[in-house]
Amino acid sequence: MAGHKTTLEQWRILQAVVDHGGYFHAAEVLHRSQSSLNHAVKKLEHQLGVTLLEVKGRKAFLTSAGEALLRRSRLLTDTAEALEVLAENFDMGWEPELKIAVEVIYPRELLFRALAKFYPESRGTRIRIMDSVLTGGQDHILNKTADLVIAGMLPKGYIGETLCQIEFVLVVHHSHQLAQLEQPISQQALINQMQVVIKDNGLKPDESRGWLKSEQRWTVDSFERAKQILKLGLGFCWLPRHEVLNELSQGLLVELSVQRYSNRTGAVFLVIPNPDHLGPGGQRLYEILKSEGQTTECQQALGQMGIKL
């Protein structure tokens, strides 16, 4: 069988030249001379019999053939890197640290129950928990900045294990004007009131999700901050039912219903952003997170909190 004409190193050099806008910056990043990179690309073109780059001024631009081949080359180099990581994992011991990104709507009772079960087996593994809101979880998945991600939304091309369904309720302070109206209230009544919103902590927040029609909005970074504002008699907010159970039972906050607006629910998923890079500790924690809360007693308790497994 004949050997391949090209090498992974040649494709990586081509990618670097394109990604960094030319030979000069690519040479700095790769710690190589410009002449060596130019020679590598020219040799690649000669071996393929295709012109890949055209230099205009100080910048290199892809030809149409170069664009097509570059796209395919990224799959090739990504696969090679994944294979190398997988090979390392065959000889990898228990991880010294695991990073878990957790969507804030996920009940912390379930998370901490899972961590408590994992602790006796953890072999001293450090756990780092990072809160995420809305697209923040997607960023952790796409950028692979966490070993495990509990997310409320999945990026295109990713699948996850469904952990639970969270019920959201519309709440205000018992003295608020909206609480005095006949239920269900109209959406117009909400538009004229101030809305408290939890901030999306993603790199590119999606501000089009959810009901955001109020003329005035206050944005906070946590459910606790939202509840503090509500308890002053200011504004309304949609919050997970399990986050306001105490306030509802004490009568501090009241639940409202809205005309022609059904109950809001949201699924929470468990995702491994980079399966080939997950070691034995992460695999074990994944299994525990997936199975936690499956007892009948736990399911009954969670059902009362507006959580469906």
pLDDT for the residue numbered 296: 52
- pLDDT of 31 above 60: yes
Angle at 307 between CA 97 and CA 181, to 5 degrees: 130
User: How many of the other CB atoms lie within 10 Å of CB of 201?
Assistant: 17
**What angle, 0 to 180 degrees and rounded to 10, lies between the N-to-C axes of helices 64-90 and 8-19?**
120
* 302 against 149, higher pLDDT: 149
SS3 string, 105-155, reads CCCHHHHHHHHHHHHHHCCCCEEEEEEECCHHHHHHHHHCCCCEEEECCCC
pLDDT over 90 at 61, yes or no: no
* Cα gap 296→208, rounded to integer Å: 38
Number of residues assigned to the chain: 309
Tell me the average pLDDT across 284-296: 81
Task: Indicate if the pLDDT at residue 89 is higher than 60.
Answer: no
Q: Any bridge partners for residue 165, and if so which?
A: 267, 308
Phi, psi of 57 (to 5 degrees): 70, -125
pLDDT at site 240: 94
What are φ and ψ of residue 218, in 5° steps? -115, 130
Instruction: Indicate the SS3 state at residue 159.
Output: coil
Predicted confidence (pLDDT) per residue in 142-165, tens digit = 999 999 999 999 999 899 999 989
Give me the CATH code for the 97-164+267-308 domain, please.
3.40.190.10
What was the pLDDT predicted at 81? 80
For residue 149, the cross-strand partners are: 101, 271
How much is the average pLDDT of 117-145?
A: 92
Say if residue 1's pLDDT is above 90: no
Q: What does the pLDDT read at residue 36? A: 92
Q: Kindly report each contact of residues 207-214 with a partner whose C-beta sits within 8 Å and lies 24 or more positions away, as own/partner.
A: 209/134, 210/238, 211/238, 211/261, 213/187, 214/190
CB–CB of 178/196 below 8 Å?
no
Cβ-defined contacts of 229-234 (< 8 Å, 24+): 229/196, 230/171, 230/172, 230/173, 230/196, 231/173, 232/173, 233/173, 233/175, 233/176, 234/173, 234/176, 234/194, 234/196
Residue type, 249: S
Examine domains 8-90 and 97-164+267-308 and report if their fold is the same. no
What pLDDT score was predicted for residue 117? 94
Q: What is the pLDDT of residues 194-241, one digit of tens each?
A: 999 999 888 887 766 666 677 798 999 999 999 999 999 999 999 999
- Tens digits of per-residue pLDDT, 3-22? 678 888 999 998 998 888 88
**Cα 29 to Cα 31: distance, rounded to the nearest angstrom:** 6
- pLDDT at residue 281 above 60? yes
- Amino acid identity of 82? A
CATH architecture entry for 8-90: Orthogonal Bundle (1.10)
- Lowest mean pLDDT: which of 26-30, 181-185, 192-196, 208-212? 208-212
Q: Could you give the dihedral angle defined by the CA atoms of residues 159, 117, 115 and 223, in that order, rounded to the nearest 10 degrees?
A: 90
pLDDT (0 to 100) of residue 214 = 78
- According to CATH, what is the number of the domain 167-264? 3.40.190.290
For 177-199, b where at least 16 C-beta lie within 10 A, e where not — what string? ebbeeeeebeeebbeebebbbbe
Q: d(Cα 64, Cα 61) in Å, to the nearest integer?
A: 10
- Alpha carbon distance 274, 260 (integer Å): 42
- Where does the pLDDT of residue 259 fall: very low under 50, low under 70, confident under 90, or very high at 90 and above? confident
pLDDT at 112: 94
pLDDT band at 276 (very low <50, low <70, confident <90, very high): confident
**Domains of the chain: which residue ranges?**
8-90, 97-164+267-308, 167-264
Residue-level pLDDT at 264: 83
Query: How does the average pLDDT of the chain come out, rounded?
Result: 87
Region 236-257: mean pLDDT is 94
Average pLDDT over residues 99-113: 94
Percentage of the chain exceeding pLDDT 90: 52
